[in-house]
Structure 1
């Protein structure tokens, strides 16, 4: 844990509310209201959420202003913002905002603030605005406990890279199958699938849990319905997808877990492609290498932010590994 900071600079990151995004789309609040109510939804919920969020941000600025120099930053500017080594970062929003900020930091402590506890559970939002006046002084003096978070990293052979806090997605930006060569732990396979997901310990309760629960549920029901026995299967490399009958285990890995896990979505076995390397670990000595065979629309994005992506088209090789840096969350 580091010592006291020489300058009390605090970067407060906020996001657009659903109402603000609607106004951007429909130009006015009145037009946004007409659109929402025409669909039978409750527009007052959007107004209430926006009011509470704005009030929380305003109060946070006041609380933080009494403790140091405050800079307010909108989420959309985070990828291009240069954080100072001594900065303390405060995220006011949902869990996704915390995750999307963390990958752009380089050791700066990040504090997740829940702006509306009655609305959001907030696994990554342990504090409220009222807690800031107690938490910030401890952080600035280096006296607050920090939890380290393992990050994933995608490194392309053209020098570009992208970090993931929860997960990375490698595939196509459409519903068309992705074609690529996958290599891990000395094994290589040509695959066609809906894409590859790489999950961290923090992301183990998200996309990874969803994929494993779906796979286990399909396997169980297919066995009960004897689906596989009704399908032609002349290719022995396909294996038996109907062997599992147990409910999926509860997935909850520590946030600083020393492994990443990859899962292949909907792999399609054929004469040219296989479906054996569909799940596995990625460690310090065993990175995952994927070579794109997609002429267009190949992408790699992280944490569900599709607008912030790397192009991943034919000939580009991505090395997926544990990141050289870790996130630091204030708890």
Structure 2
């Protein structure tokens, strides 16, 4: 007998809930915002919209199906099952946060605040969730397979990300390393910079795009489903012992950007989640390239 489908609702604590938790009561939080020229009602209404969306989606799931809820802060402790359908309720960034913990499960992105979110990954409304979930359970609906990026260290530590992976110092200060590509023998350059950014076509709508624009837009950014990455060195510093000739490029499937640490400590983190970082020490090598897994986003 096969298991009933399990629908996993992923959400995050709202700004309003964080304010009340910090200040103790609604009134104290309202006073704090008012003293800074802000009205708490705007923040509270966004929180109510999120809660209404969660309730509406949960109510539309058949009673014979299983349900689970997980908050963003608990993602690293939640065990996703192969048969799960994941419904992300919130912002685009929340889809990226959950992507690294999945292994092919379909994801439905629900936008709770249309007009504030770009809607690149949370493409749908709560009212449409029932039909989208049913389609995902039957594996009959349209799905976009989004390219992901991975970093693998020489001690087997592995990091996955949907948007980008950052390699550098924890405080974004200057870090020393040697940089090259696996397919360019001898083309390895000692560098000092504020870090290296390697990302996907999905990430090209965020942090990567800002770096790309600063560089004059010379590289062609990949599409979200294209199996190609772009990489940039941030603020490379020229000196008698460090160079600046390898500062940007593409990575196709099978190609790897290789970085060998020449500082006491370097970290790698994905999609802005610095608290879930891979730590690397002097002499360690990490290779970054197109991941073998993709995010299956329900269109």
TM norm structure 1: 0.84
Cα deviation, 1:258-294, whole Å, max 9, x if unaligned, reads 1111100110000110000000112233201111122
3-state secondary structure, aligned to 1:20: helix
- Which residue number in structure 2 is paired with residue 56 of structure 1? 53
Task: Tell me whether 1:300 sits opposite 2:268 in the alignment.
Answer: yes
- Which residue number in structure 2 is paired with residue 131 of structure 1? 128
CA gap of 1:8–1:308, structure 2 versus 1, over 3 A, is same
Find the aligned partners of 2:32 and 2:248 in 1 and give their Cα distance.
43
Unaligned segments of structure 2, at least 5 residues:
none
C-alpha contact (below 8 Å) 1:67/1:137 kept by paired residues: no
- Which residue number in structure 2 is paired with residue 162 of structure 1? 159
Find the aligned partners of 1:25 and 1:312 in 2 and give their Cα distance.
34
Q: 1:262-277 counterparts in 2 under 5 A?
A: 262-277=231-246
1:291 to 260, 280, 286: 260
- Which residue number in structure 2 is paired with residue 141 of structure 1? 138
Task: Tell me whether 1:35 sits opposite 2:2 in the alignment.
Answer: no
| Equivalent pairs, count | 295
CA gap of 1:39–1:324, structure 2 versus 1, over 3 A, is same
TM norm structure 2: 0.93
Unaligned segments of structure 1, at least 5 residues:
217-247
Q: C-alpha root-mean-square deviation of aligned residues, in Å?
A: 1.8
How big is the shift at 1:104?
A: 1.0
1:105 to 102, 106, 120: 102
2:279 to 299, 311, 318: 311
- Which residue number in structure 2 is paired with residue 207 of structure 1? 207
CA gap of 1:270–1:249, structure 2 versus 1, over 3 A, is closer
Please list every run of at least 4 consecutive aligned residues from structure 1 whose deviation after the TM superposition is greater than 6 angstroms: none
Find the aligned partners of 1:13 and 1:268 in 2 and give their Cα distance.
41
Cα deviation, 1:191-228, whole Å, max 9, x if unaligned, reads 01111000111111222211021122xxxxxxxxxxxx
Whichever structure has more strand as a proportion of its residues is: 2
3-state secondary structure, aligned to 1:307: helix
Larger radius of gyration: 1
3-state secondary structure, aligned to 1:64: coil
Cα deviation, 1:226-262, whole Å, max 9, x if unaligned, reads xxxxxxxxxxxxxxxxxxxxxx379653212111111
Find the aligned partners of 2:257 and 2:105 in 1 and give their Cα distance.
28
Answer with 18-27 or 259-268: which moved more.
Answer: 18-27
Q: 1:174-323 counterparts in 2 under 5 A?
A: 174-184=171-181, 185-186=184-185, 187-216=187-216, 248=217, 253-296=222-265, 298-323=266-291
